[in-house]
């Protein structure tokens, strides 16, 4: 958690960073959607004449969808961090309620867990994910 002295200025610092990241993400989502629209992948896929052309068209569509999915996920994390700022819980681990180190927040503005809890969370997710074939 952010310490009491200077809390407002520190929170304002993080809020500015989160709002700037939100603007970048929204721009990237918009640009990807515009690019996908201008390239008309659906038309391209409908006009292909062999499997290689079809594969390229499918790959381009998948890449755009993956970019949008990634950016929307990060945008949701940014919005949740802004909500935590406004609710007074930003900088507090959602799992153990301990303070999240300021250096961690500087590197990862949307951090919702302290480093110890994040490591545990990542380990538990790695164990529960079935191995790929």
Q: List pLDDT tens digits, range 59-118.
A: 777 888 899 999 999 999 999 999 999 999 999 999 999 999 999 999 999 999 999 999
Enumerate residues 6+ apart whose C-beta is below 8 A from 80.
110, 112
Highest mean pLDDT among 43-57, 103-117, 119-133: 103-117
Torsion sign, CA atoms 37, 19, 90, 112: positive
> Residue 131: which H helix or E strand, with range?
none
Q: What is the pTM of this model?
A: 0.76
Task: List Cα–Cα distances, 76 to 6, 26, 72, 128, in angstroms.
Answer: 27, 11, 6, 24
Q: What is the DSSP string of 105-117?
A: HHH-TT--S-HHH
Domain ranges in the chain? 7-128
CATH topology of domain 7-128: 1.20.120
pLDDT surpasses 50 at 1: no
Better-predicted residue by pLDDT, 65 or 48: 65
């Amino acid at each position: 958690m952010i310490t009491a002295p200077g809390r407002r200025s520190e929170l304002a610092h993080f809020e500015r960073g989160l709002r700037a990241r939100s603007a970048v993400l929204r721009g990237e989502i918009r640009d990807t959607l515009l690019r996908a629209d201008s390239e008309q992948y659906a038309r391209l896929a409908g006009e292909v004449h062999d499997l290689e052309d079809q594969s390229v068209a499918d790959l381009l569509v998948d890449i755009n969808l993956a970019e949008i999915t990634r950016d929307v996920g990060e945008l949701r994390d940014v919005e949740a961090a802004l909500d935590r700022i406004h609710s007074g819980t930003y900088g507090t681990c959602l799992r153990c309620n301990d303070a999240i180190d300021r250096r961690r927040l500087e590197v990862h503005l949307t951090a919702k867990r302290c480093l110890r809890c994040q490591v545990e969370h990542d380990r538990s997710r790695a164990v529960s994910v079935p191995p790929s074939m």
